[in-house]
Amino acid sequence: MSLPPPISRIMLYVRDPQKIADFYITHFGFSARSEVHADLIQIDTGDRKFSLLLHQASKGHRLGQSCIKIVFDVDDIETFKSNSLKKGLKFGKTFKGEGYEFANARDPAKNPIQISRRAFLT
Cα separation, 94 vs 89, in Å, equals 14
C-beta separation of 84 from 95 below 8 A: no
Q: Which domains are present in the chain?
A: 9-120 (3.10.180.10)
Per-residue pLDDT of the chain (122 residues), as tens digits, is: 666 656 778 888 888 889 999 999 999 999 987 566 677 898 998 887 888 988 888 787 777 676 678 889 888 999 999 999 999 999 999 999 778 898 999 999 888 889 988 887 76
pLDDT of residue 35: 61
β-pairing, 31-37 vs 40-44, is antiparallel
pLDDT of residue 25: 94
* Global pTM value: 0.75
